[in-house]
């Protein structure tokens, strides 16, 4: 899975990780906000778009569904990124 890029937002008695950022397979950075009492993520917002991100929905400020944070297990992402990089060189 993904590891948090930034340090945790709060260290105290309520919860260790109330919010954090992750970098997705496409290069986009996503801010994840968690409920302080339960630790469950309740919102995921695109903070910065990756330079070669092929996903149109990954606009800065867009909310993402939980499954959109999952890595691409089919290997399709590698093909799309390689194709995008090849086009950029021409």
> What confidence tier does 89 reach under pLDDT thresholds 50, 70, 90?
low
Range of the domain at 60: 19-89
Q: Are 57 and 36 in contact (CB under 8 A)?
A: no
Question: CB under 8 Å to 53, separation ≥6 — which residues?
Answer: 26, 27, 28
Q: Is the pLDDT at 79 greater than 60, yes or no?
A: no
Position 40 in a domain:
yes
Whole-angstrom CA distances from 87 to 9, 52, 83, 90 are 39, 11, 6, 6
Position 75 in a domain:
yes
Position 11 in a domain:
no
Mean pLDDT calculated for residue range 1-18? 53
Compute the half-sphere exposure of residue 36: CA atoms within 13 Å on the CB side of its CA: 6
Could you identify the residue written with the tokens 């903070």? Answer: 47
Position 2 in a domain:
no
- Structure pTM? 0.61
Position 6 in a domain:
no
Q: pLDDT tens digit string along 13-61?
A: 444 557 889 999 889 999 999 888 888 888 999 999 999 998 888 999 9
Number of domains present in the structure of the chain = 1
- For residue 47, what pLDDT is reported? 95
Position 70 in a domain:
yes
């Amino acid at each position: 899975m993904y590891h948090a890029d930034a340090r945790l937002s709060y260290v105290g008695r309520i919860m260790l990780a109330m919010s954090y950022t992750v970098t997705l397979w496409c290069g986009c950075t996503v801010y994840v906000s968690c409920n302080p009492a339960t630790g469950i993520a309740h919102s995921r917002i695109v903070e910065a778009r990756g330079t070669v991100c092929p996903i149109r929905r990954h606009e800065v400020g867009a909310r993402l569904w939980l499954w959109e944070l999952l890595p691409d297990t089919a290997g399709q992402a590698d093909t799309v990124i390689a194709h995008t990089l090849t086009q950029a060189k021409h």
